[in-house]
A and B are shown apart, each in its own frame.
Chain A
Amino acid sequence: MNASSTARMHRQPDISHANGPSGVTRLLPPAGTARWTDHQRHYGPVLPASASSLVDIVRSSGLRGRGGAGFPTATKIAAVAAAAGRLRRAIVIANCCEGDPTAKKDRVLIGRAPHLVIDGALVAAAAVGADRVMLAVHQGSRAGTILREALAERGAGAAAVSVVQVPNRFVASEASALVRFVSTGDARPLGRLAPVWESGVDGRPTLVDNAETLAQLALIARFGDHWFRSVGDQEEPGTALVTIGGAVPRPGVVEIATGTPIRTIMASAGAPTTGWALIGGLAGRWVDLAAVAQTRFTTAHLASAQAVRGVGSIIVLPPRSCILTETARMLGYLADSSARQCGPCMFGLPAIAADMASLASGDRMALTRLRRRLPTVDKRGACAHPDGAVALAASALNVLNGPESGHLQQHLAHHGCRATAPVVPLGVVDSTRHASR
């Protein structure tokens, strides 16, 4: 399995055991390595490798996508490589948009190690035989400025790489929406009928990977699969970036070894280890931090605890908070963020958001409507946007019918509650502009 890796990486990286807040610092180097020369000194060069050996080493590394879906990266790379040919070259899109407003990990990563993301995109391009690499950023974002400057520093070495500015909307950075935007200027999802790895930008096989995934790839290409697996969970190895926000003394991004218990992550960031939190982003789940204290931070362990890893964010609610009000507000944002292409999303999300708001105002019948509507919206859009909203709403109902049922009764009796102001960060909705060129 790992034979392909043995020939190349033997440079023992001094970054492997550096101490971060949870014991590892691979992706978030000390300040002062953002510039090209410093980056090269800190990480060393990426040695050239054949496409097939790159696929093998990524497969042995066990790397999974860090954008939300957690799909095995090698499988995706192999699919794009197989669909591509000399007359139909592949394209790589580095998704640096970080559309979920609860997550800040990719922007922190790009601020600290922009060249690692670019390295990873170039490694991915080598693995799939791509001749073009696009770094997709939100219009006017700081990430875009940083990446453009980074490309300028690299000069001819990054001639195939360009920065593409995408409308600043949640759904615009869904993989097929990125592909459609680059091809046509319309940043709405294309749907599941045409997989982008077969037919993406201009009909070419297209690899869309998240910024953190590519940064991990850049390290695997340098230091090998054994090194990558030397930290973290056996099944989902390596490190991961986690955004911690909401009612915490020091909001920010931490790098953890995968499989670190949630309690350890929270404690190391000086954050509360009890109370309610939203894990996974706007399409995430509400969890009782005390109940998941021992849950290890991996896709599989979180799923078995009725949570979801998603975009890897943990937003802590203050003590006197209200999951119902937070959820109604988030659902309103998700409804406004719909690309309005598919009926069940276009009509279903506003209906669900209105139901949740009615429930918060004490409308008991809204519970019945939600129970009936959620299954009729789930998995009925071209992209997973409606599914995420349904999962969030269902998670809120589980909590409100379970441990927080007393709080729900308060809403039903008094048509509201006296909770503190909502804390889950939401983006700005600009629903009038789906296309922008």
Chain B
Amino acid sequence: MSAGTDNAVALTVDPIACRAHGLCADELPEAIGLDEWGYPFLSTGSIPRKMLRRAKSAAAACPVLALRLTHTRG
């Protein structure tokens, strides 16, 4: 949680929807890794402001819309 931000954003994955396409990890490798089966590991906590644009791209890149940006209270 970045202190003082009242509109922090975090990534969450819907594990049921995810089909291991892996496009999210291409968009944002700093925050998204893939396990040995190709399913994403997300770094916990809020996304730094400078990564926000690419985080949105990562969510948009998911063919099954399993990756979401959720607003958390920072």
Contact = CB atoms under 8 A, between A and B. Distances in A.
Interface in A311-353: 341-345, 347-348
A391 interface: no
B20 interface: yes
Contacts of A382: 14-16
Where chain A touches its partner, the secondary structure class is: loop
A231 to B, nearest CB: 41
A252 B20 CA distance: 45
Contacts of B38: 343
Indicate the member of B16, B35, B36 with the most A CB atoms within 10 Å: B16
B14 A343 contact: no
Where chain B touches its partner, the secondary structure class is: loop
Number of contact residues on B: which range applies? 10 to 19
Contacts, number: 41
Contacts of A344: 15, 35, 37, 39
A341 B41 contact: no
Contacts of A191: 14-16
Interface residues of A, number: 16
A7 interface: no
Contacts of A190: 16
24 contacts: A190-B16, A191-B16, A193-B12, A193-B14, A341-B15, A342-B15, A342-B16, A342-B39, A343-B15, A343-B18, A343-B19, A343-B35, A343-B39, A344-B15, A344-B35, A345-B15, A348-B35, A373-B36, A376-B36, A376-B41, A380-B15, A380-B39, A382-B15, A382-B16
When A and B form their complex, which 4 residue pairs have the shortest distance between CB atoms, in order from nearest?
Answer: A342-B15, A343-B39, A347-B37, A341-B16
